[in-house]
Structure 1
Amino acid sequence: MASGLAALLDDVAAIAKLAAASLDDVTAAAGKAGSKAIGVVVDDAAVTPGYAMGFTPERELPIVWKIALGSLRNKFFFLLPGALLLSAFAPWAVTPILMIGGAYLCFEATEKIIEAVAKTTGKVDASPKVTELALSSAQLEAQKVSGAIRTDFILSGEIMAIALATVADRPFAIQAGALVVVSLALTIAVYGVVGLIVKMDDIGVHLAARQSAAAKAFGRGLVKSMPHLLKGLAFVGTAAMLWVGGGIIVHGLEHFHLNTVPHIVHDLSKLAGQVPGFGPVTEWLAFAGGASIVGLIIGGIIVAIVHFVPKRKH
């Protein structure tokens, strides 16, 4: 009886070790996949606060919550099952789909740069603002939430594709677990940060009304820094889209043995990596810069095709 109980305990311990090892594998795979998608995550966190701005303070967090729920629906009802089906039945399609998504990121980033340049020259179409003024607050909120969820679908799709490509060589169960962890963790992280960003000015106003001189100064600093923070986030998000999108294109070209551009980017990054004491940093910066240039070129070509070619034909 004792020996049988000992054998049972040994089996339970073995199962527990196997489960722990599987959990470690899932966590490690999720961490690797999440780190690869960090550029898109930065852009997601940079883009989303704009959808909650312009409303009364009590509506800001509910709007962020609605967008977060929409993001979870995007991931768990559509993107995650689609990614797993793709992995199971058409793994060859992952790289082409990833490259299409990367090209879209390059296009969107380049379009943002062109819009920013147009704003500085005064060539801005104000008609969207006129349309917004004609809507009720509830209609405008629904429109903003819907637009944010559509944008999230594209960015989340890119995150899932990057994550899937990162764990494509792992067993199916590990892939599924890693994608679930990445989906939950990144959604919580992104919309937690977004919620904090949209309430920072309210926190600043609250602190500025306190009796403490230090709290007042800090609160005023928060309020004054918000426009600069949002501009900085927009810049970082655009740069991240170019670097990630261009990097995806470079790796995709390598996958299809079209090595001319990848060799140039890698050779330049290796050359930059020879700086004593800062090699890894300068190598990464050089690769990110090279990938961004590739992304800008790809994005510029797509922008020309989408916007300028149809106008010339017309």
Structure 2
Amino acid sequence: MASGLLALLDDVAALVKVSAATLDDVPAQVAKTTGKVSGIVIDDTAVTPKYVVGLDPSRELSIIFQIAKRSLINKVLLLSPAALLLGFFAPWAIPPILMLGGAFLCFEGYEKVHSMFSKHHDDAHDGSGEVVKVITPEELEKERINGAIRTDLILSAEIVAITYSTVAESSLVNQIVVMFAVAIFITVAVYGFVGLIVKADDIGVHMAKENNHQQVRKLGRGIVTFMPHFLKILGYVGTAAMLWVGAEIIAHGIPFTSHALDNLEHSLAEVPFFAWLAKAVACGIGGLILGAIIEKVVVGTKKLMKKG
């Protein structure tokens, strides 16, 4: 009897050790996954501030909080369970879904690049003869929040899918812990930083008041002057990240291109920065080309549908 109890305790202790060892890997897996989705995170951070532009400054943080709350709910209660179920019952569907998401990122990235360099995309719509819909500030706020949530849902789906692909070979407990940890960490980090960006102007104005020290006032004026340029740079970085990440997701889903990227990285392995840069540039160019092709297909399909 005593020997049976001791054997049981030994088994329990062994199980606890294995579980502890598995959970010890969680921070490393979270860090690894966060690195893989960095491009999407940058884009999410770059895109979100535009949804509060032109709204009541006193409502900015409340709007960002509402978007962040819905983003976290989508990741934790909708997308993560869906990914786990899909991974259990139809794991073959994960790579195609990732590639479709990558194609969407390439398409969106190309659209942004095209709008940056197109000279007539604004001139073609001067607003003459158009019926202007008048809405209340509350309706505009609701419309902005819904638009931000739709965009975030697509980006969140990519984050969750990439996270699952990273931990697909781990135990179920590890998968759940890592996916929930990534969802919470990324949501807090992204929207915390977005809140800081959005309120940076107000912080700068407060620092620039006459009752503050001269150096504080100077720093405040510098923040106010720098923020528009920072937002523009952030937009460029977000666009480049969309193209790079989208193309890399697709490339890793195709054996030939996956091997080509690996060979490129290995050939420059002695200089890690150049290896990363070469891979990012190659993926960025590939993403831009692929996005252009998808855009032509989408436009052509719309024209055919109108003719039909």
TM-score by length of 2: 0.89
Q: How does 1:31-110 map to 2 (within 5 A)?
A: 31-110=31-110
Q: How does 1:84-163 map to 2 (within 5 A)?
A: 84-118=84-118, 122-123=122-123, 125=125, 134-163=134-163
1:144-176 CA distance string (max 9 Å, x none): 000000000000000001111111111122111
Which amino acid is the alignment partner of residue 189 of structure 1? A
Q: How does 1:171-250 map to 2 (within 5 A)?
A: 171-209=171-209, 210-250=211-251
Change (3 A) 1:67 1:121: closer
Structure 1 residue aligned with 2:302: 310
Gaps of 5+ in 2: 1-5
Question: Contact conserved, 1:132 with 1:140, CA < 8 A, in 2?
Answer: no
Structure 2 residue aligned with 1:285: 277
Question: Contact conserved, 2:115 with 2:121, CA < 8 A, in 1?
Answer: no
| Cα displacement (A) at 1:33 | 1.6
| Cα displacement (A) at 1:27 | 2.5
Q: Quote the Cα distance in structure 2 between the aligned partners of 1:59 and 1:163.
A: 33
Which of 202-211 and 18-27 deviates more? 18-27
Question: Contact conserved, 2:79 with 2:157, CA < 8 A, in 1?
Answer: yes
Which amino acid is the alignment partner of residue 189 of structure 2? A
Q: Quote the Cα distance in structure 2 between the aligned partners of 1:198 and 1:54.
A: 12
Q: Quote the Cα distance in structure 1 between the aligned partners of 2:76 and 2:126.
A: 37
Structure 2 residue aligned with 1:24: 24
1:41-79 CA distance string (max 9 Å, x none): 111011011111211221000000000011012112210
Question: Contact conserved, 1:37 with 1:159, CA < 8 A, in 2?
Answer: yes
| Cα displacement (A) at 1:219 | 0.6
Change (3 A) 1:266 1:12: closer
| Cα displacement (A) at 1:22 | 2.9
| Cα displacement (A) at 1:123 | 3.6
Which amino acid is the alignment partner of residue 136 of structure 1? T
Which of 180-189 and 8-17 deviates more? 8-17
Which amino acid is the alignment partner of residue 92 of structure 2? W
What is the alpha-carbon root mean square deviation over aligned residues? 2.8
| Cα displacement (A) at 1:16 | 5.6
Which of 7-16 and 18-27 deviates more? 7-16
Q: Quote the Cα distance in structure 1 between the aligned partners of 2:181 and 2:124.
A: 41
Which amino acid is the alignment partner of residue 140 of structure 1? L
Which amino acid is the alignment partner of residue 80 of structure 1? S
| Cα displacement (A) at 1:29 | 2.1
Which amino acid is the alignment partner of residue 102 of structure 1? G
| Cα displacement (A) at 1:311 | 3.2
Which amino acid is the alignment partner of residue 100 of structure 1? L
Gaps of 5+ in 1: 1-5
- The count of residues paired between Structure 1 and Structure 2 equals 301
Q: Quote the Cα distance in structure 1 between the aligned partners of 2:108 and 2:49.
A: 17
Change (3 A) 1:280 1:223: same
Which of 210-219 and 41-50 deviates more? 210-219
Question: Contact conserved, 1:29 with 1:174, CA < 8 A, in 2?
Answer: no
Change (3 A) 1:137 1:76: same
Change (3 A) 1:101 1:132: farther
Change (3 A) 1:163 1:124: farther
Change (3 A) 1:97 1:61: same
Q: Quote the Cα distance in structure 2 between the aligned partners of 1:139 and 1:132.
A: 15
Which amino acid is the alignment partner of residue 68 of structure 1? A
1:164-209 CA distance string (max 9 Å, x none): 1111111122111110000000000000000000000000000000
Structure 1 residue aligned with 2:3: none
